[in-house]
Chains A and B, each alone.
Chain A
Amino acid sequence: MSKLDTYPYRPPKRYTKKSLHGRVRGMMIPYDDYRRAVLFYSQVFGWDMMRVPQGVFIEDSDERPHLMCATGPSQVSWEASVPGHVWAQLVARERVPKVQTFTEVSMDVPLAETVKTMTDRGWKVVSRTEIDGDWADFVVVEDPDGNRQLLWKCPSSRTWEEPEAGYDKD
């Protein structure tokens, strides 16, 4: 392999489809002790935290809340406002047993079809979560090496004005 074909010499390919398929959009980190985990990430790394809005994602409880964490400059929606970093979520371990990514998949393909392309290659489905009246659609999958990802299919509410929805247009 030529040196010019390696990182950092070859630039990344262009992403010209109006799609966020495959983007790693966040990180989900389990906690056992809620207060201890909040103190660790707020005091060591300066993260800011709020409870994830209810009814649009994983259910939680007042005692074991599901937290959205800004790890750097963020928009009012808590999506990052500059490139190169993502939010994290602190989640009770009984709901997320090990660290996993939050990965967006195609809005144009039913989530079941996307998941089938993975299970056909030996990946496994860890969990499917359905919440009454929920607005989101997601499945947790694991690759053959044990790496877990929550696959999230964005609802059709995206307006494409959102800064994070950019793609290579030319």
Chain B
Amino acid sequence: MLKLYTCYKCCFPFKADDRNLPPRCPACNCGPEWFLGEPYNPEEKRRIHVDPPEPEEGERDVFDISYHVAKRFPAGTRNGRLRRFVFEYTDAPRARRDYAELLDWDIVDCEGTDAAHPEMFCATGPGNPNWEPSVPSFIYGFLKDASTDPTGMAPFFMIEVDNIEETAARAERFGGRVLRGRYEANGQQYAVLADSEGNAFYIWETPATVTWDEPESQGG
């Protein structure tokens, strides 16, 4: 019988047939004895309410990887947020066609880009006029000509930071490397790092134009 479930431990909602329940809560990993079920309704509105747990106070041991509510991230900074993907291409028309038709991305050239080797910005879901997603938990990203990557390392994602030099110094202290120092592109400030495992990625310095009223600028 199809039911609506709420995890009593973490308040995660899901629907499932009561003869085919997931073995663990997909969010907090507790067993089915914690699942509260109620009859399914087509509107999928739950009557069972479970208060969401609160984050722990104080510093947590980073090697304690048991389930917990994610920490509070401070307001007034976007430091550390994983904000973009970057796919390199060798054939611009093919990349544009494939991603638009196969994954329904909305793809536009960036202003002033080289027409033969365009840098393309990709919306992968609903967004606001400033080309930021309008709902949580997905990102936009770039399609970029592989020949324009001087590192040859195909950096694959982008993390926003408060300050490029401070982040680079800290990364080196923890086993990372600077593959390309601060540079400007399209009015934005970037650098390219490798993490302690050799994976390459961009860091992007928060622009001075941010007002902190944007939905994507909100704190925890």
Contact = CB atoms under 8 A, between A and B. Distances in A.
Partners in one complex: yes
A166 B135 contact: yes
A8 B111 contact: yes
A10 B108 contact: yes
Query: From DSSP, what is the main secondary structure of chain B's interface residues?
Result: loop
Chain A contact patch, size range: 35 or more
Contact of B176 (A40, A51, A77): A40
Nearest to A114: B102
A21 interface: yes
Given A6-B110, A7-B108, A145-B95, A71 B123 contact: no
B167 to A, nearest CB: 7
A84 B88 contact: no
B215 A14 contact: no
B70 A24 contact: no
Query: From DSSP, what is the main secondary structure of chain A's interface residues?
Result: loop
Contact of A83 (B23, B52, B62, B132): B132
B22 A82 contact: no
Interface in A5-57: 5-15, 20-25, 27, 29-33, 35-51, 53-56
Interface string A115-151: 0011001010000000001010000000111110000
Given A29-B199, A36-B174, A135-B22, 9 more contacts: A12-B126, A44-B167, A73-B73, A79-B137, A85-B83, A86-B139, A87-B82, A145-B146, A147-B87
Interface of B: 4, 10-16, 22-29, 44-46, 52-53, 60, 62-63, 65-73, 78-83, 85, 87-91, 94-95, 98, 102-106, 108-113, 115, 121, 123-141, 146, 154, 156-157, 159-161, 167, 170-171, 174-176, 195-199, 201, 215-216, 218-220
